[in-house]
Structures are given as C-alpha cells and as structure tokens.
C-alpha cells in the first residue's frame, strides 16, 4: 500500500460508531451535571434560589458561588494560564455576560439534572452593557499599548502614509466580518472521575496538557495527579484549545459525591461557554502605480474583546507579507465589550484579514483595469518585506498559475456582469490568495519497536479529525518500509507524553519532527542504516530485548530550552513564523465560480479550485480532506454563518444548528484540490509546512470577488446574504 492509498486511521471506527469520544465514557455510577446560565447582559446575582431544584428527585448537589468550591482561576491561555478566559464562573456573584454559568446541578440522571437546572431562580442587579463595536460603553485600546510585547507591536515598514498619499491609484474601504462560532459536531463536555487521589478526565480537547496543568492549578494538585484522555476529538476548530470553565467545578462535584460526573453542554450553551470568532472591522488603504504595482498599504483593525481579556491580534502578520509592499503600516485595536473572551477559530485572524486585503486588491485590479491574477503575480514578493529575511519557501505564484490553469481562468471576461450561464443566470469568477504562518511547537515523541515487528508511537498531539494519527502512521510506515497495519499511534493522552496545544496548524509537522528524531535514534539503537527499509522484528530480536524504546524532544529552530518546560507544563510555546534565518508561511490560491440566482438573488458556489503550497504533503488523503473542508468552511463564512447579537439583551441569539447557518452538501459545488508539493527542507527535515488553516484563508474573498464580478456590487461585510444583493 502506498502512502497515497492509505485510508484514514480510525475511519472504520468512526463510521461504525466504535470510536469513543470524551463524553461517551460512561463509568459505573456516573452522575450527570447541567449548568444554569445567567439571563442578563451584565450585573450581580442578588439572590440565587436553589430550593426547588434541590427538591427534584435524584438531585445530588447544586454548586454555585454561595458555596466555597475551593478552586482558583486557571488564568488566561494568552497570559500565562490555561483557560480560554481569565474569568472562572461560580466563584463570585458577578455576571460578566449573558450566558455565563451561575450554577451547576448534579443529579442521578440527565433528566433530573436538566429539570432541576430549569428550576434554579436568580435575581440580578442589572448593569448597562455593550455587545457591539459601535455601542456606547465600549472601551477601545491600542494593542501596542495594552499588550507591550515586541511580536504584538504594529507592523510598520517604510512610510506607508506618505507613499499612499503620493500613489496615483488608491483604494480606501472598510470591511467587516464576524462574529462566528466554531460549532464542531462534538459538543463541549467530559467526564471527571477520581481514582484515589488522581483525577481522571475524559474530554474532547485540542490541549490535554492545558487541561492537566490548569486543573492542577485550580484544584491545588500535583500535575502528576491529573490524567486527561482524549483519543478522538469530534472537531475543535479552536473552540477546544484550552481549559473550559466547567471542568474544575465538575471535578469538585465528583470529589464531593465520590462518583464520576459527566457534563455535556447543550448546543445553545456552547455559544457562550467557550470562545468564538470576534467581530473585526478593517480599514484597508492601498496605493499603487497605474499598472497596479503596490506602493503602500495601511491596514487598521478593530477587534472585539471581552472586558477581562485581550486576544492578541495578528491580522497584519499576513497582510504585510502577502505581496511585496515596501511601505506598510498596521494598527490593531481592541474594543472591549461584555461577552466571554473571544478566541481562536480556524484561521482566526488570517481569514478576516484576507477578506479585507484580498477584496481591496480586487478593487485595485478593477480600478487599474488589470486581470486580478496578473496583478497578484506582478506584486509577488521574493523576500519578506517586513524583516528582509528569505522565505523558507514561497510558491504563491505557482499556486496562482496552476489554479488559473485548472480553473480555465483564461476564459474569463473581465467586466462585471459580463458572464452568464446557458440559462441566463449571472456568473462570476473570483480569485484570492492566502497565507498562514508555519509555526513549530515543542513535542515529545516515543517510538516503541516490538519483537513482533509492530511499532507503537506515543506522542504529544491531538487527533481532531484533521488526520494527525494518519500522518504519524504513514510517516513511520514509510520511514521504516513497513506496512501501515504494523504501526499504531497514541496521541491526546497525558499518560503517555506531555502535550502542547494542537492548533494553528502546527500540529502535524511539529509532531512529525519529534517522531522523525525518535526514529533516527531507533535506527541507531537497532543498529540499522539511517535510511531504507527495516525488518523490525529481526532487528529487535537481534538486540535481545522484547522492545526497543526511543524518545525525542524537538522544538522550533529559534526556541530556547525553556519552551520545552512550558510545553511540559501545558502552556503555549509556539515558535515562528519569524525564525532566526528565515520566515515561514504556507500559501494558497482559491478560484471560485458563483452563480447568482436571478429571482432571489442568492449566491450559489458552483465551482472552486484550490491550490496550496504546504511543503511536502504529509498525508494525501487527509490533506485533500482538509482543503475540501476548509472550502466548505469558507462558503459558510462568506455566505451564511453569523452569530446574531441583540444589543438589548447581549449574548448570541441564534444558538442552535437550525439557526446558525452552516452550509449543507447541496450548497457546495465541485471542489478541485491540488498541491504544489515542493518540500520545504529549510523549515524541517520532513519538508512539511502547515495546511489546516491556510486552506481557509482567501476562500471568502474569492467568493466575494466572484460576487462582484457577477453583479457589479462589492460586498464589504460577511456574510453576503440575499438582502445585500436585492
């Protein structure tokens, strides 16, 4: 079986239902928890009446701030902590946002817990609140000043304002996107269980290490007394990238009751219980010469924040580098509102940033009268305009050229409203590019070669459907020249290795890097050549041992050893994309055809071609799926997904899968995926860059640009709905 033919690891288990996700774990004697959430936008709880709830038959416990839970906050993930936000509910009477948990009911059955949760009554002293960017009562802060860290400073290159003023061609427009929610299929939830003094947690998570470290801090435990197990994650997309505030109270309840406690949040609660993509507003100014050669860009962003935390923004990281722009000025601000802390959702900054920049570039191409692919090629960069360093690899031009060819771009008629389908439906073709940083994190990997010829990989990493285990199995099988059936990979389990957060698309190549190193050492221990097929059974037998085990810890090229300590503690420690000798990004180009239904006018995406430069493709099956999935995400982000906010009430109103509109199969046209496939051996010895995030970057602006081409109307706010084109 070749690498390309290897099926996805775990596919059979998932299809047949054998795969066990976090909350599927149902130990004997398990009790069920259900949260009660605040129904005001902000304020204080003046009275909490739990008598009726406690009277429900089967109710065991009601936890709230009236009780001393004996826990401390776990700290914000981006400020030396572990949690998605600094605020830990249930510790005081404060309500910071609508939907914040105010009590946790535990009962013998789920039905009793749910009934009792509905009977908890709270009386509030309400306070004014603000949930929209323009609302009275928000507070705007400059990122540079509020988060004075070098890598969060505004990107400034040359004299953007002067060069812009002097440019003969100028574009000045404001774009807006979000808020949105990740809505993975797997709900947020888990099971907390004490085995003696050890807390065992089963919960779908992209960061079992953060759960371990965070729970240890919250409960005052030695981290060795916390085990977190998440062999499968049913989609994370950033929502499960840190400790959620339900878990410590769940552990407290389990300890008090002396039995395991399970909590699965109702879908509506997940809209307030974890992070989301904040609304962001972008003013983009582009200056160019008459041919469309970019002379200056100014990108100013306002991003929604909570009152209690600031999500460090890096929108300008890619907008300053997608093209060879010698004069660039970025400015990122935070607008504090009364919500839970927003966070990372697939291509968190890059998707909205690309929507803004790549729409503006399309506006520029139109103004310059140049083909948008040609204009992009003419502005390609050979070295990083921000640092002056080389790119580890950059094949954006190849992505654009190959995509144009596969799509048939040469047949495009340039003028808006000039293309029609056979039945007269207006057709539009649009293009956009994307980039995403290739970061690297510290990973520990262990390889166990058995006398039976089997190889077991135990590594820091998470399988959330993106294909981490497939990539590991495939890499080991290829390296040793053995069948994929002889290789097994265990990830998402603090019992086998410390774990860094898997996000930012750094997971696969960072873990592969450690596995690669462990394999080199294995070969040495087995006394086999550094390359070529290995008869594992024979080689292990020759050592006289039943099993040969090697371990490696790797980190990013510029990282100090302390980064490994942070990883071991479950804290974040990404390296890059600005490495000592180069900068590293993945690139992508998307080509989109839309049809705008004449009567409605509803945008239909009939065809997409996406070509990615992600270095060597680590696992063809799952890589292809990643890009397809990202295109579907982009269709949702561009045309339908929007978390609705009623400023009079706060919170998010369309908090279910009927009203939060993700695309269905029938909304997705033909998708063609291709890869440049050039290994990036400057970045790492496997030549692998990142893919999972870059694949989404640029889909939305390609759709928006196609809408402009079809209708002559320029969408500047996502999602683009019927009312915007009517």
Partner 1 sequence: MRPFAYAVPATLDEALRALSEAGPGAKLLAGGTTLYDLMKLDVETPPAVVDIRALPELAGVDTAGASELSFGAGAPMADVAADPVLRRDYPALAESLAKAASQQLRNVATVGGNLLQRTRCPYFRGGLAFPCNKRRPGSGCAAIGGLDRGHALLGGSDACIATYPGDWAVALIAFDAILDVAGPRGSRTLPLAGLHVEPGDRPDREHTLAWDEIVTRIRVPVTAAGRGSTYHKVRDRESYAFALASAAVAVTLGAGGTVEECRVAVGGVATRPWRCHEAERELVGAVLDRGSARRAGETAFAEARPGRQNAFRIELGVRTVAEALRIAGERAER
Active site positions, annotated: 693
Q: How far is CA 368 from the centre of its chain?
A: 36
Q: How many CB atoms lie within 10 A of CB 252?
A: 24
**Nearer to partner 1 by C-beta: 531 or 659?**
659
In whole angstroms, the minimum distance from the beta carbon of 243 to partner 1 comes to 27
CA dist 412 and 435 (Å) reads 25
In whole angstroms, the minimum distance from the beta carbon of 662 to partner 1 comes to 8
Question: Interface with partner 1 includes 663 (CB under 8 A)?
Answer: yes
Question: Interface with partner 1 includes 225 (CB under 8 A)?
Answer: no
Question: Interface with partner 1 includes 135 (CB under 8 A)?
Answer: no
From 333-341, 364-372, 508-516, 642-650, give the range in contact with partner 1 by CB under 8 A. 642-650
CA dist 615 and 537 (Å) reads 33
From 60-68, 144-152, 313-321, 660-668, give the range in contact with partner 1 by CB under 8 A. 660-668
Q: Which of 8, 14, 39, 549 binds partner 1 (CB under 8 A)?
A: 39
**Nearer to partner 1 by C-beta: 1 or 664?**
664
Question: Interface with partner 1 includes 174 (CB under 8 A)?
Answer: no
Q: Which two tokens stand for residue 711?
A: 């209708």
**Nearer to partner 1 by C-beta: 4 or 722?**
722
Q: Which of 51, 524, 659, 670 binds partner 1 (CB under 8 A)?
A: 659
CA dist 710 and 619 (Å) reads 37
Q: Binding-site residue total for partner 1 (CB under 8 A)? A: 30
Q: Which of 661, 672, 682, 717 binds partner 1 (CB under 8 A)?
A: 661
Three-class DSSP category at 289? coil
In whole angstroms, the minimum distance from the beta carbon of 599 to partner 1 comes to 4
**Nearer to partner 1 by C-beta: 488 or 717?**
717
Cβ–Cβ under 8 Å, residues 254 and 106: no
From the DSSP assignment, how many helices (H) and strands (E) are in the chain?
19, 25
Please give the residues from 558 up to 617 whose contact with partner 1 meets the rule CB under 8 A: 599-600, 602
Q: Which of 3, 478, 543, 654 binds partner 1 (CB under 8 A)?
A: 654
Burial of 167 (0-12, 13-18, 19+ CB in 10 A): buried
**Nearer to partner 1 by C-beta: 385 or 663?**
663
Contacts of 174 (CB under 8 A, 6+ apart): 281, 282, 283, 284, 716
Question: Interface with partner 1 includes 648 (CB under 8 A)?
Answer: yes
Q: How many CB atoms lie within 10 A of CB 481?
A: 12
- Minimal CA–CA distance to 610: which of 585, 593, 595, 596? 593
Question: Interface with partner 1 includes 723 (CB under 8 A)?
Answer: yes
From 269-277, 475-483, 615-623, 661-669, give the range in contact with partner 1 by CB under 8 A. 661-669
Q: How far is CA 319 from the centre of its chain?
A: 19
Question: Interface with partner 1 includes 15 (CB under 8 A)?
Answer: no
Burial of 575 (0-12, 13-18, 19+ CB in 10 A): buried
Question: Interface with partner 1 includes 422 (CB under 8 A)?
Answer: no
Q: Which of 42, 115, 496, 511 binds partner 1 (CB under 8 A)?
A: 115
Run of H or E residues at 519: helix 507-526
Question: Interface with partner 1 includes 423 (CB under 8 A)?
Answer: no
Question: Interface with partner 1 includes 55 (CB under 8 A)?
Answer: no
Question: Interface with partner 1 includes 114 (CB under 8 A)?
Answer: yes
In whole angstroms, the minimum distance from the beta carbon of 214 to partner 1 comes to 30
Phi-psi map region of 10: left, alpha, beta (phi>0 left; psi -120 to 50 alpha): left
Using omega within 30 degrees of 0 as the cis cutoff, is the peptide bond preceding 215 cis?
no
Strands 121-126 and 43-49 turn out to be antiparallel
**Nearer to partner 1 by C-beta: 614 or 632?**
632
**Nearer to partner 1 by C-beta: 41 or 234?**
41
Question: Interface with partner 1 includes 367 (CB under 8 A)?
Answer: no
In whole angstroms, the minimum distance from the beta carbon of 473 to partner 1 comes to 33
Question: Interface with partner 1 includes 649 (CB under 8 A)?
Answer: yes
**Nearer to partner 1 by C-beta: 111 or 542?**
111
Our CA dihedral for 657, 659, 660, 661, rounded to 10 degrees, sits at 100
CA dist 50 and 54 (Å) reads 6
Question: Interface with partner 1 includes 658 (CB under 8 A)?
Answer: yes
Three-class DSSP category at 342? coil
In whole angstroms, the minimum distance from the beta carbon of 44 to partner 1 comes to 16
From 107-115, 536-544, 616-624, 674-682, give the range in contact with partner 1 by CB under 8 A. 107-115
Q: How many CB atoms lie within 10 A of CB 380?
A: 14
CA dist 433 and 398 (Å) reads 11
Q: Which of 653, 672, 678, 717 binds partner 1 (CB under 8 A)?
A: 653
Q: How many CB atoms lie within 10 A of CB 678?
A: 16
In whole angstroms, the minimum distance from the beta carbon of 50 to partner 1 comes to 17
**Nearer to partner 1 by C-beta: 265 or 526?**
265
Question: Interface with partner 1 includes 681 (CB under 8 A)?
Answer: no
CA dist 80 and 74 (Å) reads 9
- Minimal CA–CA distance to 106: which of 275, 287, 300, 255? 255
Q: What is the DSSP string of 560-589?
A: -THHHHHHHTT----B-SB-SS-B-EEEEE
Which residues make up the interface to partner 1 (CB under 8 A)? 39-40, 111, 114-115, 118, 599-600, 602, 640, 644, 646, 648-649, 653-655, 658-659, 661-667, 721-723, 726
């Amino acid at each position: 079986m070749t690498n390309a033919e290897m099926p996805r690891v775990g596919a059979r288990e998932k299809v047949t239902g054998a795969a066990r996700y976090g909350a599927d774990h149902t130990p004997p004697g398990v009790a069920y928890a259900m949260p009660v959430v605040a129904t005001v936008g902000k304020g204080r709880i003046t009275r909490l009446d739990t008598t009726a709830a406690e009277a429900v038959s089967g109710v065991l416990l009601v936890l709230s701030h009236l009780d001393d839970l004996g826990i401390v906050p776990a700290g914000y993930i981006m400020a030396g902590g572990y949690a998605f936000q600094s605020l830990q509910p249930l510790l005081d009477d404060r309500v910071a946002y609508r939907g914040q948990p105010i009590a946790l009911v535990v009962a013998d059955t789920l039905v009793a817990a749910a009934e009792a949760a509905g009977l908890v009554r709270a009386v509030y002293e309400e306070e004014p609140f603000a949930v929209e960017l323009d609302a009275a009562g928000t507070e705007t802060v400059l990122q540079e000043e509020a988060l004075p860290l070098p890598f969060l400073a505004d990107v400034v290159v040359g004299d953007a304002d002067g060069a812009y003023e002097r440019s003969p061609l100028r574009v000045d427009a404001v774009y807006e996107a979000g808020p949105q929610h990740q809505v993975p299929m797997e709900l947020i939830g888990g099971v907390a269980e004490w085995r003696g003094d050890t807390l065992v947690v089963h919960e779908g998570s992209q960061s079992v290490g953060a759960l371990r470290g965070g729970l240890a801090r919250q409960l005052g435990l030695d981290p060795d007394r916390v085990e977190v197990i998440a062999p499968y994650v049913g989609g994370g997309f950033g929502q499960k990238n840190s400790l959620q505030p339900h878990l410590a109270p769940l552990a407290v309840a389990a300890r008090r009751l002396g039995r395991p406690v399970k909590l699965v949040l109702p879908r509506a609660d997940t809209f307030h219980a974890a992070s989301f993509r904040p609304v962001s507003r972008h003013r983009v100014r582009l200056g160019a010469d008459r041919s469309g050669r970019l002379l200056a860009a100014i990108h100013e962003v306002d991003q929604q924040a909570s009152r209690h935390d600031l999500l460090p923004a890096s929108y300008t990281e890619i907008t300053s580098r997608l093209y060879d722009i010698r004069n660039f000025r970025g400015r990122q601000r935070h607008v504090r509102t009364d919500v839970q802390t927003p966070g990372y959702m697939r291509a968190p900054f890059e998707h909205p940033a690309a929507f803004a920049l790549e729409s503006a570039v399309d506006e520029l191409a139109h103004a310059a009268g140049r083909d948008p692919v040609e204009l992009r090629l003419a502005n390609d960069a050979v070295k990083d305009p921000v640092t002056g360093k080389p790119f580890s690899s950059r094949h954006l031009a190849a992505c654009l050229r190959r995509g144009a060819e596969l799509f048939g771009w040469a047949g495009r008629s340039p003028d808006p409203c000039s293309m029609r389908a056979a039945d007269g439906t207006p057709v539009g073709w649009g293009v956009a590019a994307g980039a995403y940083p290739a970061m690297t994190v510290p990973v520990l990997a262990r390889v166990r070669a058995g006398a039976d010829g089997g190889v077991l990989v135990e590594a820091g990493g998470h399988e959330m459907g993106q294909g981490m285990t497939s990539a590991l199995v495939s890499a080991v099988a290829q390296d040793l020249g053995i069948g994929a059936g002889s290789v097994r990979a265990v990830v998402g389990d603090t019992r086998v290795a410390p774990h860094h957060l898997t996000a930012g698309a750094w997971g696969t190549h960072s873990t592969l890097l450690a596995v690669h190193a462990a394999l080199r050492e294995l070969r040495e221990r087995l006394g086999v050549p550094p390359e070529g097929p290995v008869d594992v059974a024979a080689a292990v037998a020759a050592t006289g041992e039943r099993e040969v085990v090697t371990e490696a810890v790797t980190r990013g090229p510029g990282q100090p050893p302390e980064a490994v300590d942070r990883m071991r503690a479950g804290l974040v420690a990404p390296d890059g994309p600005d490495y000592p000798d180069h900068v590293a990004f993945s690139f992508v180009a998307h080509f989109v055809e839309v049809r705008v239904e004449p009567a409605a006018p509803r945008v239909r995406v009939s065809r997409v071609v996406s070509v990615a430069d992600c270095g060597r493709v680590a696992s063809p099956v799952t890589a292809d799926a990643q890009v397809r999935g990202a295109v579907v995400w982009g269709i949702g982000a561009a045309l339908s997904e929007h978390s609705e906010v009623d400023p009079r009430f706060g919170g998010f109103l369309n908090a279910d899968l009927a009203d939060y509109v993700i695309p269905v199969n029938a909304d997705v046209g033909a998708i063609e995926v291709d890869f440049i496939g050039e290994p990036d051996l400057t970045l790492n010895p496997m030549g692998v860059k990142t893919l999972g995030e870059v694949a989404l970057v640029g889909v939305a602006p390609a759709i928006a640009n196609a809408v402009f081409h079809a209708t002559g109307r320029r969408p500047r706010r996502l999602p683009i709905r019927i009312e915007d084109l009517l």
